[in-house]
Homo-oligomer: A and B are copies of this chain.
Amino acid sequence: MEETGISREHILSILKNAKSEDTSYDRVLSSMCTYPHEIAVLAHTQFIEANMGDPGLFPGTYGLEKEVLKMFGSLLHHNNSPEKCGYLTTGGTESNIQAIRSMVNARRDINHPNVVMPESAHFSFDKVADLSGIEIRKASLDNTLKVDLNSVVSLIDDNTIGLVGIAGTTEFGQIDPIESLSEIALDRDFFLHVDGAFGGFILPFMDMEYHYDFEVEGVTSMTIDPHKMGLSTIPSGGLLFREPEYLDDLEIHTPYLSINKQYSLTGTRSGASVASTYAVMKHLGREGYRSVVDQCMEQTREIVSGAKALGIETVIDPVMNIVALNVPQADDVRKKLLDDFGWHVSITRNPRALRLVIMPHIDNNTIELFLADLEKLV
């Protein structure tokens, strides 16, 4: 590190250069992130120094967090004081880690606990396993890429404490049969965590009705991520439990703060993200999000029909704004799309298909350009 600092102007020019090396989202079809809404950025900046790790110092921001939790509750059919049942995390990984940690802590009577989840579960659960040493058992999928219930049941044993279902799988945007998982969970007194990191800000705004949230009796916790389809700033995640008691299982004693206990995984915690999430959710309302989701689904249909016109089928009928295209030599096509045309797409694992996430930064024109380039390669 240099002895003497460099000027503001010099720093800004270095930052400008770095920024120009970053990919703009225009041709990014591989990410679940997008540009945050302008009002989210404005709110974020205004609350930049707020630390939710010490909420006694920031009662105003803490009040905004309670309002966000009430809005989550309203979206996810949670009618039991949602403002007491969760908090804003750094994202889906923290939410998933904490949901599993809460299960484990509530069932300390079980010595080597395991949790059963679909093969399609996000890699954050591998972090949970690595971090906590608890066993994650992965159930196979049916031919629509939902979790196979027989496989789930076959993996359950005396040490099973909970199940996980996904509302919007990362690879295919599929929704697991949460109601059936709920029956299994209720029968056996298991926890049931639903990972709606992606789907949580999509499913409430679709015409089709799905049953995947707290209206399903056995669901005990949910992950929902404002910094994906919620158009909030990074790092904005959400975790909601059915009852306030689940949060207690996460608490550790905290001397020298304005509070005595802390349930969050991180210590210092962004109040900027709280304000940002509050602002964009209040500003858009259901109407605003419905229009965002409508647009993404419209583009999704465009890409599916355009691909079909090229003779390319989808792996499953898209449920939400994620499309997996069954192209031969998908890895080669992916590489050429990037090298020749600058398109960022990703690859699903099984089957190996081209995976596209149709986020709000994707417009009609982008879809047309993409399909034209894809045509040159297949």
Contact = CB atoms under 8 A, between A and B. Distances in A.
A208 interface: no
B18 A257 contact: no
Contact of A258 (B3, B30, B258): B30
Contacts of A349: 255
Contact of A252 (B50, B54, B126): B126
Interface string A29-49: 011011110010111111111
Contact of A256 (B127, B171, B252): B171
A333 interface: no
A266 B124 CA distance: 8
Interface of A: 1-8, 11-12, 14-15, 17-23, 25, 28, 30-31, 33-36, 39, 41-51, 54, 57-61, 63-64, 71, 74-75, 90-94, 97, 101, 105, 122-124, 126-127, 130-133, 170-171, 225, 227-228, 233-235, 252-258, 262, 265-272, 275, 278-279, 281-288, 344, 346-349, 355
A47 to B, nearest CB: 7
A259 to B, nearest CB: 11
Given A31-B57, A268-B33, A287 B252 contact: no
A237 to B, nearest CB: 8
Contacts of A92: 267-268
